[in-house]
Amino acid sequence: MMSHRAFRLFVVALLVATALPCSAQRKAVEAEHAMVVSAHELATQAGVEILKKGGNSIDAAVATGFAMAVTFPFAGNIGGGGFMLIHLADGRDLVIDYRETAPAAATRDMYLDAEDNVLKGPGSSTVGWRASGVPGTVAGFALAHQKYGSGKVKWAELLEPARRLAADGHIVSQETAERFQKEVELLEQFDETKRIYLKNGTLWKPGELWKQPELAATFARLQKHGPEEFYTGETARRIEEAMAKNNGTINRADLKSYKPVERVPLRGTYRGHEIVTVPPPSSGGIALLQMLAMLEPFEIGPLGHNSAAKYHLFVEVMRRAFRDRAERLGDPDFVKLSVQQLLDRSYLTGLMENYDPAKATPNEALAPSVPAPAEPQDTTHYSVIDAAGNAVSNTYTLNGAFGSGVTIPGTGILMNNEMDDFTAKVGVKNLFGLLQGPQNAIEPGKRPLSSMTPTFVRKDGNLLLITGSPGGPTIINTVLQVITNMIDHGMPVMAAVEAPRIHHQWIPDEMTHERYGISPDTAEKLRAMGHTVRERTSYEGANQGDAETIALDPQTGRRLGASDPRKPDAKAIGF
Ligand code: DON
């Protein structure tokens, strides 16, 4: 029998042990100077290699992006586009919008058949030669490098890790092999795609060495002739020729006229923190700032991270922000948007006036005059910081996994299906189940509305967080939850990234949650309030995005790299 004293000691020891930081949680990778976090280890290494050569985080981000096109072909790309949020050590913040544009031949109803129904399969906005917007990645990366790179690493050097990975090959991971397998139906429709990504139908197995000589040759041309080669050189010629042969929509003039746009980031505040994020044509920044403003009057910390009360509140702000997204947003170069009005605090307080802490707001109570649209499935986000404090938060994509499924013969370039992010028809949902409005209708040269949300959080002028995620519309809610997990729940960055996430996008009127992410009694409480609660099954199984994030310790400035466990190949490397 344990003596009374021994028992007391045992209880004290138990209390001490449980008060210690939980050892079951993964630690962030810590480093003093610099950090790269991406969804693929070899792409992270490419960025680190450039930093070690004296490059800054912008140079490293470009090299990581090119390497992702080799090692993470479902989303990494040179045939797609995205948004790069940059913080310069001198204090400036800026956005490079290298979103794809609709080609000149695009028309508002190009994806409708004679009966006005939205086309499916080849020829639609999701599959094949008519699904692509004009790619922006190479031009966006070139602008970033020329204007904001360190000047110490040449363009050709930034491409070299990617060229080497493509030429020498890399080992196919379990995740990669599974992704190929999962998308067989799309990939086998196009001969060149089938040959490269499905090993001509025999399928790549984990552990095999996979070389991509055509892609390596494309990188070599870009090294030799510069980024313009993609838009006016041999690569452009091959894109045009293949497009023409297959009734595609993109021609040489579209490529030649593509321009990335430098934009001013959106800024907001949340409980004394500054949030810096992307403006339209992404909806992500506006929706994120709207949700944070709607949440701010509520005390969230005491509700607990995953209580029914907290999820109810979050679903209600998500519902309201996504309704606005659907109705109001589009490319600001083409449609009138009042960002100021959408972010106005009294407007947002007004949106929450009919919030009931005990009951779900019926969607009809928010009913828009125009139904909103939806979005598609593979994107990737990575974060970089260098020793001087320059930081990059970059999200880019082909849209769906492997984009349109089309590979331009002889180039290794997979083309995006970003045209599906436009409104094919008002009232009809897109690949992501999003409804979209006339603001986002197709017009030549216009950029489709995005949800990509690369974001920074700052406190007292110091950078605290670099984050973002893939996941179509879920991106915005993933970023929201990473930020609130840290600010409201005081989670360390790794826990904030790992914690289970939820999503609501107004339509469909349901809250989804990750597998094991919510207890049956919590779900029951939410149902009793009138919510539809469903376990997530789309986008990479049951996961909601992967937030490849860097936090900075406010006391020491140390870089904390949090690679998201939802992506087994993801890696944070610092030094
Ligand atoms: O721009 C957008 O919002 C979409 N094209 C992003 C697609 C995406 O995140 C797919 N990811 N899993």
Q: In this structure, is residue 395 part of a structural domain?
A: no
Residue of 126, 286, 397 to test ligand 1 pocket, by largest number of atoms within 8 Å of CB? 397
Q: What is the average pLDDT across 290-312?
A: 97
Helix (H) or strand (E) holding 298: none
154 occurs within a structural domain: yes
Please indicate, yes or no, if residue 328 is contained in any of the structural domains: no
Residue 367: C-alpha distances to residues 282, 320, 370, 429, 506 (Å): 23, 10, 8, 16, 10
What pLDDT band is residue 433 in, cutting at 50, 70 and 90? confident
Closest C-alpha to ligand 1, atom 1: 450
pLDDT per residue over 217-241, tens digit each? 999 999 999 999 999 999 999 999 9
Pick the atom of ligand 1 nearest to 375's CA: 4
Give, using CA atoms, the residue closest to atom 5 of ligand 1.
Answer: 399
Active site residue 379: yes
With respect to residue 490, please indicate whether it lies within any of the assigned structural domains: no
Predicted local confidence at residue 431, as pLDDT: 78
H helices present in 83-173, as ranges: 137-148, 155-168
Percent of the chain with pLDDT over 90: 85
Q: Give me ligand 1 centre to Cα 375, in Å.
A: 7
Q: Is residue 423 part of a domain?
A: yes
Mean pLDDT computed over every residue of the chain: 92
In the predicted model, is pLDDT for residue 373 greater than 90?
A: no
Q: Which residues line ligand 1 (CB under 6 A)?
A: 375-379, 397, 399, 418, 421, 450-452, 470-472, 475, 539
What contacts 151, CB < 8 A, 6 or more positions away?
A: none
**Which residues span the domain enclosing 144?**
74-263+407-433
Distance of CA 442 to the CA centre of its chain: 22
Alpha-carbon distance of 352 to 313, in angstroms, equals 10
Q: Report helix angle 308-328 to 284-295, nearest 10.
A: 140
Instruction: Tell me the CA–centroid distance for residue 383 and ligand 1, in Å.
Output: 17
Other beta carbons within 10 angstroms of residue 261's beta carbon come to 17
Domains: count for the chain: 1
pLDDT digit string, tens, across residues 155-184 = 999 999 999 999 999 999 999 999 999 999
Ligand 1 atom nearest to CA at 539 = 12
The amino acid sitting at 264 is V
Decide which of 494 and 21 is more confident.
Answer: 494
How many other C-beta atoms lie within 10 A of the C-beta of residue 568? Answer: 16
Q: What angle do CA 35, 38, 42 make, to 5 degrees?
A: 95
Residue nearest to atom 8 of ligand 1 (CA): 472
DSSP-derived secondary structure letter, 173:
P
Residue 25 is predicted with a pLDDT of 79
> How many Cα neighbours within 13 Å face the side chain of 495?
15
Among 84, 322, 475, which residue has the most ligand 1 atoms within 8 Å of its CB, making it the best to mutate?
Answer: 475
Per-residue pLDDT, 363: 84
| 376 Cα: distance to centroid of ligand 1 (angstroms) | 5
Residue 59 lies in a domain: no
| Token pair recorded at residue 239 | 């894109």
Place of tokens 């290794």: 412
Confidence of residue 63 (pLDDT cuts 50, 70, 90): very high
Q: Rounded to the nearest whole angstrom, what is the distance from the C-alpha of residue 378 to the centroid of ligand 1?
A: 6
**Ligand 1: centre distance to CA 460 (Å):** 32
Measured from the CA of 421, which atom of ligand 1 is nearest? Answer: 5
Q: Which residues are CB-contacts of 173 (< 8 A; sequence separation ≥ 6)? A: 206, 568, 569
Say whether 379 sits in a helix, a strand or coil. Answer: strand
Task: Give the predicted TM-score (pTM) of the model.
Answer: 0.93
- 470-481, pLDDT tens digit by residue? 999 999 999 999
Please name the residue that has the structure tokens 């449609």: 335
Local confidence band at 426 (pLDDT 50, 70, 90 cut-offs) = confident
246 within a domain of the structure (yes/no): yes
Question: Of residues 379, 423, 453, 484, which has the active-site annotation?
Answer: 379
Both tokens of 340, joined, read: 């100021």
Name residues whose C-beta falls within 8 Å of residue 93's C-beta, 6 or more positions apart in sequence. Answer: 85, 86, 87, 265, 276, 456
The protein residue with its alpha carbon nearest to ligand 1, atom 11, reads 378
Q: How many angstroms separate the Cα of 241 from the Cα of each of 136, 222, 249?
A: 19, 19, 11
Q: Would you say 67 and 161 are in contact if contact means Cβ atoms under 8 Å apart?
A: yes
Residue 86 lies in a domain: yes
Cα(362) to ligand 1 centroid in Å equals 27
Between these two residues, 508 and 203, which has the higher pLDDT value? 203
